[in-house]
């Protein structure tokens, strides 16, 4: 795995780190101190939902059970997202060290990486990396001489389903079932994999933890805004000169990000992947932060030549395909929203019906069982609202009718 490392620069995640150092540091700390550091850092989950990481670890640590699990969510299926791929290829030490730290803190003996099937080409090198850790006693029994602390990691391959990134669907999948989200509560921290307390963390959340453990929460809090601490990895793609993964402090203006990546003639920015929201140029002075525009880190840039209706159609086709079909608002709702896009294309959509569809979209947000159906109306509502003029000219052969 060595040698693939690129020269990436960033204040936290891409800062210097030595393999094993978080494990070494954590094993010299009490579990309470580790939890305190995490709480003090203000770290929130980077998988999209933004749940405080310390709370999740605390709840799993407090659950009483003979067996607990720590799962690294490497399903990364959100269109426009690829930061976890970069971490796994170039910085596996950050991800795996934090899993060991997590195992120690919450009392888990087994770590499982749920790796999306599309990333199967990473499997061999990741397994080699884990073997190297075993050789150096960073995994296995009595890790680094800590009596009674046993922990190992295995990798489980997904089979091409987006919804399996949702943590309860992921657990269903691990147990050998269809990836259908579960009702919550009970939450995985109490009843997770095999009915045991399970903590599910995103790849980037884990990578950040390794740095916080070594360098301390006070250092981490130097970065970001008062409400959004630290930094975030952004997967930036689309119409720009320098697409790629960037580590940025929370609180950056969208217009500054566009400048940074060499985006010209930008008309629209989709933030948070297909399930995120689409902003127009009047909103580019907003900031990327939990208190303004929160995001799992995907930014897709569209220039003036793009048809936003085509963009929306692509997103809705994705959701129709990836809905697990378990609950009606999502299964039917997404089909209705996609139909509406086609009706606009054919100049058949009345504004009366559009009003009904907006109500449907709101219903989906409330009534869907999992985050897929709760968030899939986002692009529909934001694109229809923010690009009204363009879209309702479209069918009449407006300026952007042909890409």
Ligand X SMILES: Cc1cc2nc3c(=O)[nH]c(=O)nc-3n(C[C@H](O)[C@H](O)[C@H](O)COP(=O)(O)O)c2cc1C
Residue with tokens 């999992």: 370
Residue 86 makes contact with ligand SF4 by CB under 6 A: no
**Binding partner at 189 among another protein, ligand X, ligand SF4, none, C-beta below 5 to 8 Å by kind:** none
Q: Is 322 exposed, middle or buried (0-12, 13-18, 19+ CB in 10 A)?
A: buried
**Binding partner at 244 among ligand X, ligand SF4, another protein, none, C-beta below 5 to 8 Å by kind:** another protein
Distance CA 245, CA 229 (A): 19
**Binding partner at 200 among ligand SF4, ligand X, another protein, none, C-beta below 5 to 8 Å by kind:** ligand X
Residue 46 makes contact with another protein by CB under 8 A: no
**Binding partner at 285 among another protein, ligand SF4, ligand X, none, C-beta below 5 to 8 Å by kind:** none
Distance CA 198, CA 297 (A): 25
CB of 308 or CB of 338, closer to ligand X? 338
**Binding partner at 173 among another protein, ligand X, ligand SF4, none, C-beta below 5 to 8 Å by kind:** another protein
CB of 102 or CB of 251, closer to ligand X? 102
Find the binder of ligand SF4 among 372, 383, 384, 391 (CB under 6 A): 372
Binding mask 315-334 for ligand SF4 (x = CB under 6 A): --------xxxxx--xx---
**Rounded to the nearest whole angstrom, what is the least distance from the CB of residue 370 to ligand SF4 in the complex?**
3
Residue with tokens 């793009």: 306
Residue 205 makes contact with ligand X by CB under 6 A: yes
Q: Which stretch binds ligand SF4 (CB under 6 A): 39-47, 78-86, 193-201, 370-378?
A: 370-378
Q: Return the number of other C-beta atoms located less than 10 Å from residue 164's C-beta.
A: 28
Q: Find the binding residues for ligand X in span 253-272 (CB under 6 A).
A: none
Residue 329 makes contact with ligand X by CB under 6 A: no
Q: Which residues bind ligand X (CB under 6 A)?
A: 45-49, 51, 73, 75-77, 163, 165-167, 200-202, 205, 370-372
């Amino acid at each position: 795995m060595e040698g693939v490392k690129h020269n990436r620069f960033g204040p936290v995640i891409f800062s210097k780190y030595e393999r094993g150092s978080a494990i070494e540091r954590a094993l010299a700390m009490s579990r309470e101190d580790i939890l305190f550091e995490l709480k003090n850092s203000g770290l929130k989950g980077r998988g999209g939902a933004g749940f405080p990481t310390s709370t999740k670890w605390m709840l799993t640590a407090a659950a009483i059970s003979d067996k607990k699990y720590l799962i690294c969510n490497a399903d990364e299926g959100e269109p426009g997202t690829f930061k976890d791929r970069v971490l796994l290829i170039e910085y596996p030490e950050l991800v795996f060290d934090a899993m060991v730290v997590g195992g120690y803190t919450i009392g888990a003996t087994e770590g499982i990486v749920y790796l999306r099937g599309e990333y199967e080409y990473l499997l061999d090198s990741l397994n080699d990396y884990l073997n190297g850790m075993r050789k150096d006693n960073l995994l296995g029994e009595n890790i680094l001489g800590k009596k009674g602390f046993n922990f190992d990691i295995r990798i489980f391959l997904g089979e091409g389903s987006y919804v399996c990134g949702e943590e309860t669907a992921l657990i269903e999948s691990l147990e050998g079932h269809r990836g259908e989200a579960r009702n919550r509560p009970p939450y995985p921290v109490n009843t997770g994999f095999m009915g045991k307390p399970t903590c599910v963390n995103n790849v980037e959340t884990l990578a950040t933890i390794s740095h916080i453990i070594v360098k301390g929460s006070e250092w981490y809090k130097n970065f970001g805004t008062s409400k959004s601490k630290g930094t975030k990895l952004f997967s930036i793609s689309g119409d720009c000169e320098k697409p790629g993964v960037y580590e940025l402090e929370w609180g950056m203006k969208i217009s500054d990000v566009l400048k940074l990546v060499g985006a010209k003639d930008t008309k629209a920015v989709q933030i948070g992947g297909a399930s995120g929201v689409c902003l127009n140029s009047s909103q580019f002075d907003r900031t990327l932060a939990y208190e303004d525009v929160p995001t799992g880190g995907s930014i897709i840039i569209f220039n003036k030549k793009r048809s936003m209706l085509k963009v929306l159609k692509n997103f809705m086709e994705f959701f129709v395909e990836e809905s697990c079909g378990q609950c009606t608002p999502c299964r039917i709702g997404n089909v209705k929203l996609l139909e509406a896009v086609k009706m606009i294309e054919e100049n058949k959509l009345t504004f009366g019906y559009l009003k009904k569809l907006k109500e449907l979209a709101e219903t989906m947000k409330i009534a869907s069982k999992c985050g897929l159906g709760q968030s899939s109306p986002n692009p529909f509502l934001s694109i229809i609202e923010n690009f009204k003029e363009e879209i309702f000219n479209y069918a009449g052969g407006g300026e952007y009718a042909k890409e």
